[in-house]
A and B are shown apart, each in its own frame.
Chain A
Amino acid sequence: MALLTLDNVSVAYDNQYILKNFHLNIEKGQLISLLGPSGCGKTTTLRLIAGFLEAKDGRFLFDGKDYTRVPVNKRNFGFVFQSYALFPHLSVFDNVAFGLRLRKVDETEVKKRVQQILDVVSLGGFEKRFPKELSGGQRQRVAIARALVIQPDLLLFDEPLSNLDANLRINMRVEIRRIQQELGITTVYVSHDQEECFSISDQVAIMNKGIIEQLDDPATIFKYPKTEFIARFIGFTNFIDFAERTEQDGEIGLRVGDHHFVASKNPGTANPAGKKCAMRPDDLLVTTEEVVDQNMNQLKGSVKVSTFLGRSYQYVVETELGDFTVNQEMETPYKTGQKVNLLFPKDKMVLVD
C-alpha cells in the first residue's frame, strides 16, 4: 500500500486543465522526482500535494487517510521553496524554531531540536545570524532545516537548487540525498534539471502536458524510455518511424519501405505497440567499410555535416530514412560528402510510443 496516492486528480485554472485524471503512487521512504519542461504540471502536482492548490476532482490519500480537503497548515508536510522563503525578520534560530513554536513545543525542547537539526545541515554556530547575512547555499540549508525540524510526514522540494551556482548545486544535491536517506523521509522533488533528478532519486516521474509519461528508476528511464517525448528529453536524437512490426525467431522485425531492420527483445522493445525506433548518437556507428555482422542493421548514406566535439566527432549522416546524428571517437574524421555505412546495433534499438 502506497504512502501517498493521487487518485484521478484534476486541477484547472479558468477551465484550462493543468492536470487531468492524474494518478501517482509514492512508497514510504522513497525520493521521487517530478521531471519535465516548464508548463508540464510538475510544480502544480507538488503544490497540490502540499495543499497550496485544491483539486477540482479526484482524491488525495495519505497514509490511508483522505487528505483532499485538509488545509496546508494541518498537513505536517515540509516544503522547501525555490526562493528559500526564509522569514527576513527572524534569526536562523527563530526561523527554524517557527514550526515548533506553533506546535507549542516546550522551549527547552525547541532549543534542543533546533540545535540538532542545524547540526544535521552543518549550520551549527549560525543561530544568531539573519537570512540576509547568509550565502545562497546557507539559506537553502536553513530552509531545509526549517522544513525538517517539524518532523514532517513528507518532504517537498520545489526546484531548490536552481538559484545556486553549478558547483554548489552538486554539493547541495549530495547533501539533500544524504539527509533524506539518513532520516528515511519520504520526499517529492521537482526539478527541470535531468542530471539533478537522475542523480538523487529512487524513482523519476517524467511529466509532459499534465500526465506522467513514465515512472521508473533512473537507470531504466535512461536506457529504455517509453515514449518519443522522453527519448528526446534524455538525449535520444535519432528516430525511425517503421510501418510494420513482426515477431521473428525471438526477435522483432521492422520494415519501412524496402528497409528491413531487426531489434533484439529487451525491456526497451517490450512495448507491443512500439513502431518508432529511438537511438542515442553514441550508440550508432559510422564506417566506410563493408560490414558483415549479424548483430548490426545497416543503412547507406553520406556525411552531411562533421563537427569536432573534443573527444569525438559528431556527424550528421544523410540517408533515405532521413538525417542521423552519430558521435564517434576517431583519429581522422570522415569528410563531408563521403559515402558511409551507418550501423545500428540490434540491442540498442528502443521502441517507443
Chain B
Amino acid sequence: MQEKNRGLALFTLLVFLFLLGPLIIISFTSFEPGTVLKFPPEGFSWRWYENIFKVEMFLTTFKTSMFVSLLGNLLALVLGIPAAYALSRFSFKGKAALNAVFISPVLIPGIVMGFAMLKYVIIVYHLPIYAGLLVGHTVLMLPFIIRVVASSLSNFDFAIEEAALSLGAGRFATFFKVVLPNIRSGIIAAILIAFLESFNNVDISVFMTGPGVSTLPIQMLTYVENNFDPTIAALSVLLMIITAILMFIIERLMGLSYFTKR
C-alpha cells in the first residue's frame, strides 16, 4: 500500500503546472480573435490557424524542414546502422573512444556544434546552403540513431547470425533477413526521435541557414521578431500535436525509458 502525502502531491502538481503552464497559455492564446497576442483570449477564432497557411514562407520553410529532416534521417541511418552494428558486434581497439565520439554531439551545446559546423563545413568547403544544412542535420541526428539502434542491438543474440550463416545465408542475406527484422522497432524509434531532434532544431540551423533558405523554427523566430499576432501560437500548437503523436508512437514501439537508461 502506498502512503499518501498531500504535501508531495501539491508539490508535484506545481511542478507540472510550471512545466506545462506556458504550453497551456500558448494553446489558449492561439484562439485569440484580435491581432495581438493576449492571455486570456477575448473570444474564440480559427483565424490565426488559417493565417498559417496564408504566410507563404511558413509553407516553404516547412518543406525545407521536412526535406532536411527526412533526407538527413536517411543519410544518418545509412551511416548510423552500420556504425551501431560494428560497435555492438565487434570488439576492437579504440571502441570506447569511438563510442564517446559518436555520442559527443549530444553532449556538446548545440550552439558550439553549429558554430563549428559553420566554420569548418560551410566556410572551408564552400558548401551551398542547402547541402550545408543537410550535413548539419545529418550530424545532429547521427548520435541519436547510433545510440538507439546500438541499444536495441544490445539485446540481440549474435549466435542467431551464425545460425543463419550455417544454414546457407550470405553476410548480406543474414543482415537483412535476420538482424534487421529483429531490431526493426529500434530503428523506427531511432528514425522518429532523430526526426524530432532535427525538425525542432534551432541552434544548429541558425548557423546553417542563409538568404532564401530557412527551416520552419528559424522562420518562426524571424516572424516573431516582426509580428506580434497569434499565428506563431497557432503554429506552435500544431507542432506540439505532431510531436505528441510521434512520441506516442515511440512509446508504443519501445517505451520511452529506452532513452533515459544508460
Contact surface of A with B, Cβ cutoff 8 Å = 50-52, 72-79, 81-83, 85-89, 98-99, 102-103, 143, 146-147, 150
Point out the residues of chain B lying under 8 angstroms from A146, CB to CB. Answer: 163, 167
The verdict on B3 contacting chain A, using a C-beta distance below 8 Å, is no
Give the dominant DSSP class at B's interface.
Answer: helix
Q: Using A88-B182, A89-B181 as known contacts, say yes or no to A150 and B159 having CB atoms under 8 A apart.
A: no
Cα A75 to Cα B162 with chains together (Å): 13
Q: How many A-B residue pairs have CB under 8 A?
A: 60
- Most chain B C-beta atoms within 10 Å of own C-beta, residue among A51, A87, A147: A87
Point out the residues of chain B lying under 8 angstroms from A82, CB to CB. Answer: 159
Say whether A72 contacts B166, CB under 8 Å: yes
Which one of B82-90, B168-176, B210-218, B228-236 is at the interface? Answer: B168-176
Q: Using A102-B173, A103-B168 as known contacts, say yes or no to A79 and B163 having CB atoms under 8 A apart.
A: yes
Point out the residues of chain A lying under 8 angstroms from B178, CB to CB. Answer: 87
Point out the residues of chain B lying under 8 angstroms from A77, CB to CB. Answer: 166
Point out the residues of chain B lying under 8 angstroms from A86, CB to CB. Answer: 160, 163
Cα A79 to Cα B165 with chains together (Å): 10
Say whether A99 contacts B162, CB under 8 Å: no
Say whether B169 contacts A85, CB under 8 Å: no
Q: Using A87-B178, A89-B181 as known contacts, say yes or no to A73 and B159 having CB atoms under 8 A apart.
A: no
Considering the complex, give the chain B residue whose CB is closest to the CB of A103.
B168
Q: Using A83-B157, A85-B157, A89-B182 as known contacts, say yes or no to A102 and B167 having CB atoms under 8 A apart.
A: yes
Point out the residues of chain A lying under 8 angstroms from B188, CB to CB. Answer: none
Q: Using A103-B168, A146-B167 as known contacts, say yes or no to A81 and B162 having CB atoms under 8 A apart.
A: yes
Cα A346 to Cα B170 with chains together (Å): 59
The verdict on B164 contacting chain A, using a C-beta distance below 8 Å, is yes
12 other contacts beyond A72-B162, A73-B170, A81-B162, with CB at 8 A cut-off?
A52-B162, A73-B166, A73-B167, A81-B163, A83-B159, A87-B164, A87-B178, A88-B182, A102-B168, A102-B173, A143-B163, A147-B166
Considering the complex, give the chain B residue whose CB is closest to the CB of A79.
B166
Residue from B160, B165, B182 in contact with A72 in the complex, judged by beta carbons closer than 8 Å: B165
Q: Using A81-B159, A85-B162, A102-B173 as known contacts, say yes or no to A150 and B168 having CB atoms under 8 A apart.
A: yes
5 contacts between A and B (CB under 8 A): A52-B162, A72-B166, A83-B159, A87-B160, A150-B168
